[in-house]
Structure 1
């Protein structure tokens, strides 16, 4: 894929080769002492890169090759770290050299620096040649051509996920489960007061988690105290108990029960068990414990549950009957629910629904091979979705499908479900184009069962360098969206939510697929996970991408100097010092209520930072002034903030910043500094509270002619004596932007007179280039007058909480 700068297979070789090539292209004689060494190093790495790409297509390259590939990937990161260190030390802050070449020139101004870089390059070349000599078989083969992009999500893929739900879930044969849970909700007798325990047992891939999660979603609203978490193999019992405690305690009881964010850290397991049990006594609760592997784990947890408690419910899932029996033995009101594989008829329906349109039938030449493939899937819904997702990217020929069948393996239908799933997921992974491998493995940084926003994920991919920004973030985002859609179409990720236009805007990863991704990512040292149950950092590995979750604590022996991506999930772990992460490209905090201003004080030292995200970091009151020193920052996201956050005016100095998102969810809306309108590279700007901004800001907003998406908020209570002038200026700015490059306009109004659209159409009656228009509020009108101007409109959402004029109603009725 053009522009896939970094990848799972080749590490950082591509960006390293590009940086070295940039050095060779310099016209000045000052590079003459090192030019030959740089050229040899670039050639050596380019040849190695071609071999790595070739080997990445092999499912099992052999232990010797696998170790060599890992060594070369690690070397590529080390080389890029060295180049980045040059950049860090080269910059004279007073002169502020801009860009890689300028910083290198600054570095070479003195002889000492010149000799140092020459020695470093000689050392790096020697390391590359040593790596090559350990494996003499690399050759400069052609890079495989990535499969064509699929521009949108295939409706058949979405329909297939719905069908899985119906076949194994509430609306299908296994709807019996929810009736079992509701069985004791009416009538009288002692059973009504007993906690109901249902243990779902079945082999891997049969849909236990899907079924349990659906039931949980349907019933959770009936319970004030609830928790859903994955236990998994080799669990951290204390961590699980802490998670349950934080989930079941209601907000109003939080301080009294937990007594501070970090108190539960010092509690032992027995103390936590007692604390949870005492809190739940006499209360109605609903707990889902997914993926319990052994009896000992259940026995370590079970005492937190009072078994006579107002009709409470516990669901567990497991692969073993012994665990299911032990879970149900804890209550006189227990029941084992066996989930069975799909019948061949249901398997065929699911398979065909993904691969053929509703009006199509399976071609006769594919019927026999389809049956043979389905036999290997053994009625496992996940296996069927994965293999049909793989086949969806192939031509519908007997030869292509027969090759896939042979790759699955002979006699697989007689193997365990875990072996079936492992083989099919491995086949699906190695069938991916190079760029999609990295995008898929990156999902391992998120906690299990996490709902991942599409925009969040794509912007992270761009920040990580998996998708090149050669033509700007907007173009890169379009490529990222195609990668996202491709992974859905291949059934490797599942759609989780839809936006206002019913397009997929978030995803989840099936727990079995997630386990596979984590295993592969750790094997290739792609990520390091702290706090994921059963996963421990491998001693001696350099940390490249770090994810901290589930109250995880960074081991003191972990070396953090090479981390390029730091991702923190949750509000109960300590925030590490940013001084330890000088080479960061991506910094993201998700739901970190403990994050405060002083934790971000050193962000100005992260000179390579491309992506900064603060999501529900409510204790942060301002971004540091030093944020303006981040010359490579392309995306700044601030989401879900319930207080005003101060954004420094100097942020306009970040010339590459193309996406600034300040979505706020309460009545307090961020005031953006006037100088933001000097950021001519800006492509996305959301959360602009018009009446809180200065007239100068609103007037100059129309100068951001590269803006692609604009979100505005009109709140009448914020209107001051200048509101009429602001109103006129925003109408003028909207017109200028729509005549330039603005594609998407979102308007939200609250207690606002509904004349905005009327005024825009009257004052500027020329056609507008918008492709997407969202208008929401208590009273909006003027669509009829505006409609004739929207000649390129593709998406429209018009939502009024109160009245809509008859004229607008007629306009909406006339839409094709």
Structure 2
């Protein structure tokens, strides 16, 4: 870009940019150059990027922080440098951004750097796009197959894959993308790649023994995770969410380096609005995976569900947990499973059908001791729908994000949620039998009190017509409001919403 004559007037800007990069700490530079793996304008899941950094070894475990926590800090630093930003038309709250995009200018600069500069930070990226011709000189450590590439087998087989450390595929999959020469491949990222089959997966597990990161997220044709997954003894990150996998093989418990498991298939029940993730069945022995910090969604309503809940108590490093199938029959075991998790920050719970009140007055085990939720909990998702707001929600002083499915949100419930001091994102799915009213207003001695003071995002979906009112003293910092009803009704009534965008 710098050598193009039409950009001659921008030499001062290029000089400043080069100086800007050189001034970045060396520990950040591999992460910055790694952004060139994603095509220009690609919208990237933050967690996808962060977990890839972990697998590549850019973020290490330290006494005070896990490798993932350190990777999140690296991400935050790059955001501060304005190299990563939220996608257009999205709102950034004081929660971490879920989706991100590389700045177009910095992306162009990164991929234009001389190859020698990238080698300094162990990054050699090679992309297949458009109409690539056969050549004997193609090699690199990171291969990207873009949507635009015509999938020419002859061209692909001309590439030296012996040093390849990561393979990322966008668009259509072809079975010849996997080669026995990929002996040192550590990252295989097929998120939302189309056409990947169970047969392809069996071949991957056979020839890629050094994988640390395997993502099949969104590969809906994958329905079976073979028992041969235990060949991947170095595997740290496994993402099979939005596939058709409903059962984890027993052999997965042999992968003792696993830190991250994301699973769950989509179903669309007739009696429920929107999509719902169904958990996967896991066998005994999950307690052996003591390095796990992210696990979900696990179906604890299946056979041996109570035994699985008891094993979850051993996974003391969990920071993110998702379960489905919680019912009156296993609610005490569920409480016991999460009570001792001092690191737990995110919890997702889907209730078994016709068990909407199983979270009310929960107690622990056989002692009937009152349930105390994890103190560090910042994100909570309750689906069911919940019949009434569990009383223990009042204790969640650090809660920042709440997704809640209920039949009706009562005045008392509104009062409880209104005093959660840190709550900034509230998403409600309401299932009232008749048209209803929701009024975000807390009254005390006849005087309206300030409430929901840190709420920035409010999203409400209702199966019936909804009359929504936001009081004059409520949600003073609200920036984003989304309301969706099956039936049209009166426009919402707002108070003084100064920051609404």
Give me the TM-score of the superposition, normalised by structure 2. 0.70
The 1-side partners of 2:389 and 2:93 are apart by: 18
1:709 aligns with 2:320: yes
The 2-side partners of 1:440 and 1:452 are apart by: 14
The 2-side partners of 1:604 and 1:595 are apart by: 16
Structure with the bigger RCO (C-alpha within 8 Å, sep 6+) is: 1
User: Residue deviations 1:178-227, cap 9 Å, x none?
Assistant: xxxxxxxxxxxxxxxxxxxxxxxxxx99xxxxxxxxxxxxxxxxxxxxxx
The 1-side partners of 2:206 and 2:175 are apart by: 21
| Other structure's SS at 2:370 match | coil
CA contact 1:755–1:781 (8 Å) conserved in 2: yes
The 1-side partners of 2:114 and 2:309 are apart by: 47
Equivalent runs, 1:142-181 vs 2, <5 Å: none
> 1:688 corresponds to which residue?
298
The 2-side partners of 1:807 and 1:576 are apart by: 57
1:559 aligns with 2:160: yes
CA contact 1:761–1:785 (8 Å) conserved in 2: no
Bigger mean CA offset, 457-466 vs 571-580: 571-580
> 2:209 corresponds to which residue?
607
1:482 aligns with 2:73: yes
> 1:223 corresponds to which residue?
none
| Aligned partner (choices 517, 527, 543) of residue 110 of structure 2 | 517
CA contact 1:783–1:808 (8 Å) conserved in 2: yes
| Aligned partner (choices 302, 305, 308) of residue 697 of structure 1 | 308
Residue 815 of structure 1, CA deviation: 3.1
> 1:765 corresponds to which residue?
370
CA contact 2:335–2:371 (8 Å) conserved in 1: no
> 1:426 corresponds to which residue?
18
CA contact 1:784–1:807 (8 Å) conserved in 2: no
1:528 aligns with 2:125: yes
CA contact 1:662–1:670 (8 Å) conserved in 2: yes
Residue 427 of structure 1, CA deviation: 2.2
Equivalent runs, 1:110-125 vs 2, <5 Å: none
| Other structure's SS at 2:385 match | coil
Change (3 A) 1:767 1:727: closer
Residue 500 of structure 1, CA deviation: 8.6
| Other structure's SS at 2:14 match | helix
| Other structure's SS at 2:86 match | strand
1:785 aligns with 2:391: yes
Equivalent runs, 1:273-292 vs 2, <5 Å: none
| Other structure's SS at 1:674 match | coil
CA contact 1:628–1:650 (8 Å) conserved in 2: yes
CA contact 2:258–2:289 (8 Å) conserved in 1: yes
Residue 465 of structure 1, CA deviation: 1.3
Residue 537 of structure 1, CA deviation: 9.6
Change (3 A) 1:577 1:726: same
CA contact 2:196–2:221 (8 Å) conserved in 1: yes
The 1-side partners of 2:114 and 2:253 are apart by: 37
CA contact 1:547–1:566 (8 Å) conserved in 2: yes
| Other structure's SS at 1:595 match | coil
1:730 aligns with 2:334: yes
CA contact 1:578–1:599 (8 Å) conserved in 2: no
User: Residue deviations 1:670-717, cap 9 Å, x none?
Assistant: 4232133332222111212332353322332223222221112348xx
Equivalent runs, 1:30-45 vs 2, <5 Å: none
1:806 aligns with 2:411: yes
Residue 771 of structure 1, CA deviation: 2.5
CA contact 1:773–1:797 (8 Å) conserved in 2: yes
| Aligned partner (choices 278, 282, 293) of residue 669 of structure 1 | 278
Residue 794 of structure 1, CA deviation: 4.0
Q: CA RMSD in A?
A: 3.3
More strand by share: 2
1:815 aligns with 2:407: no
Bigger mean CA offset, 559-568 vs 757-766: 757-766
Greater Rg over alpha carbons, structure: 1
Equivalent runs, 1:523-672 vs 2, <5 Å: 523=116, 524=118, 526-532=123-129, 540=137, 542-552=139-149, 553=151, 554-571=155-172, 573=174, 575-602=176-203, 603-641=205-243, 643-667=244-268, 669-672=278-281
Equivalent runs, 1:82-231 vs 2, <5 Å: none
| Other structure's SS at 1:779 match | strand
> 1:439 corresponds to which residue?
31
CA contact 1:444–1:527 (8 Å) conserved in 2: no
User: Residue deviations 1:70-110, cap 9 Å, x none?
Assistant: xxxxxxxxxxxxxxxxxxxxxxxxxxxxxxxxxxxxxxxxx
Change (3 A) 1:419 1:615: farther
Which ranges in structure 1 are unaligned for 5 or more consecutive residues?
Answer: 1-203, 206-292, 294-318, 321-414, 716-722
User: Residue deviations 1:219-256, cap 9 Å, x none?
Assistant: xxxxxxxxxxxxxxxxxxxxxxxxxxxxxxxxxxxxxx
| Other structure's SS at 1:687 match | strand
Give me the TM-score of the superposition, normalised by structure 1. 0.44
User: Residue deviations 1:155-182, cap 9 Å, x none?
Assistant: xxxxxxxxxxxxxxxxxxxxxxxxxxxx
| Other structure's SS at 2:180 match | helix
User: Residue deviations 1:302-329, cap 9 Å, x none?
Assistant: xxxxxxxxxxxxxxxxx99xxxxxxxxx
Change (3 A) 1:748 1:514: same
CA contact 2:185–2:208 (8 Å) conserved in 1: yes
The 1-side partners of 2:245 and 2:398 are apart by: 34
More helix by share: 1
The 1-side partners of 2:29 and 2:147 are apart by: 26
| Other structure's SS at 2:301 match | helix
CA contact 2:263–2:279 (8 Å) conserved in 1: yes
| Other structure's SS at 1:504 match | coil
CA contact 1:690–1:712 (8 Å) conserved in 2: yes
Equivalent runs, 1:9-408 vs 2, <5 Å: none
> 2:381 corresponds to which residue?
775
User: Residue deviations 1:330-353, cap 9 Å, x none?
Assistant: xxxxxxxxxxxxxxxxxxxxxxxx
The 1-side partners of 2:340 and 2:303 are apart by: 18
Residue 650 of structure 1, CA deviation: 0.6
CA contact 2:248–2:283 (8 Å) conserved in 1: no
CA contact 2:234–2:255 (8 Å) conserved in 1: yes
Residue 758 of structure 1, CA deviation: 1.8
CA contact 1:528–1:543 (8 Å) conserved in 2: yes
The 1-side partners of 2:245 and 2:141 are apart by: 34
Change (3 A) 1:538 1:606: same
Residue 610 of structure 1, CA deviation: 1.2
The 2-side partners of 1:735 and 1:565 are apart by: 39
